[in-house]
Amino acid sequence: MESPRKRLNYRSIGLLLWFSLYLSIFSFSLQVVAVKPITQLKLNSQILQESIIKLVNENPKAGWKADMNSRFSNYTVGQFKHLLGVKPTPYGDLKNIPVISHPKTLKLPNHFDARTAWPQCSTIGKILDQGHCGSCWAFGAVESLSDRFCIHFGMNISLSVNDLLACCGFMCGGGCDGGYPIYAWRYFVHHGVVTDECDPYFDNTGCSHPGCEPAYPTPRCERKCVNENLLWKESKHFGVSAYRIHSDPYNIMTEVYKNGPVEVAFTVYEDFAHYKSGVYKHVMGGVMGGHAVKLIGWGTTEDGEDYWLLANQWNRNWGDDGYFMMKRGTNECGIEEDVVAGLPSTKNLIKELPSVDAARDVSI
């Protein structure tokens, strides 16, 4: 008859073998999804490379032109990577986020540009600068919501990136070290966002000033307007919803056509830093990180290539005066699978908009 001690040893060995197998499987899954580590030598090298420009511009199938964008003339790979602040939404959280689809009943134009569709909305055509903070996730959200307040309520206001960046806290991610676009829109619903006049962006000189370091700290949440004539609570503007948009291009186009610009996130490769004009498609270079921008329209080139029209927040000395086009309909760099938005609310606006019915519903 086996002793209890021997049975215990067998059980311990079995548990140990099971745990080892679990670790090996878990480690394998991590290797599959992990981004290849970048060496320190690579991180310290310059992001702009003549060799990349040459290879892109000499490739007849590239469809776009590369250049030495002055925005990143002194940037290392490590500094460039720090700007790419989109964190992937935890898989378990995605099931709690509504996904919007639009019925295919609307005939959409072949070309659409939100700047000309709503010319009265000056914020749509603004190109901003995130400086040297990984705050793209906040810029894409705040810019799109600002545009939507004008489109739906006729209000030309610039909302505060700084409020979202500094005050959302761990719910949105890590501030200048990156965040989750969908949780920015949830912050608008639950906490609102003040105007830029009340809480202007902390890095208003961009990345041209001395001490432009990758580890620039997230600003502190002050909850106080810099303009003493403004009150923080009264400056808040709210969202009424936060949702993802189904990845089918028709859904994305309809959402923009009906409700205004949306926030999109995509994977950035080394060659994207060199974009100057044309319809971007990844040609060469390794993965740098995730980036969020504002999608404002679409079209088709004379050569028949479908594209998205997007506004970046790297100032006007990058790309095509701050804008870029990316291939549409093929989920290039994952741009069609991570589209988020929300609708503006009349909450806190009754004094500003006496003619607006507080119960007014905007279209999804």
Catalogue the active-site residues. Answer: 136, 291, 312
Give the whole-angstrom CA distance, residue 334 versus residue 344: 27
With a CB cutoff of 8 Å and minimum separation 6, the contacts of 178 are 84, 85, 86, 87, 134, 137, 290
153, 121 contact by CB (below 8 A): no
Q: Is the dihedral of CA 329, 330, 332, 338 positive or negative?
A: positive
Q: How far from chain centre, in Å, is Cα 143?
A: 11
Nearest CA to 318 out of 209, 206, 197 is that of 206
Residues 89, 87: Cα–Cα separation, whole Å = 6
Nearest-5° angle of CA 23, CA 37, CA 319?
Answer: 135
Cα-based distances in Å from 231 to 154, 172, 237: 22, 24, 12
**Cα(274)–Cα(69) distance, integer angstroms:** 6
Residue 98 burial (10 A CB sphere; 0-12, 13-18, 19+): exposed
Go through the chain and tell me how many residues it has.
Answer: 364
Q: How many CA atoms lie within 13 A of 298 on its CB side?
A: 23
How far apart CA 148 and CA 230 sit, in angstroms, is 23
**CA pair distance 197, 187, nearest whole angstrom:** 19
Neighbour count for residue 319 (Cβ, 10 Å): 25
Residue 198's φ and ψ, nearest 5 degrees, are: -75, -45
Answer yes or no: are the C-beta atoms of 128 and 139 closer than 8 Å: yes
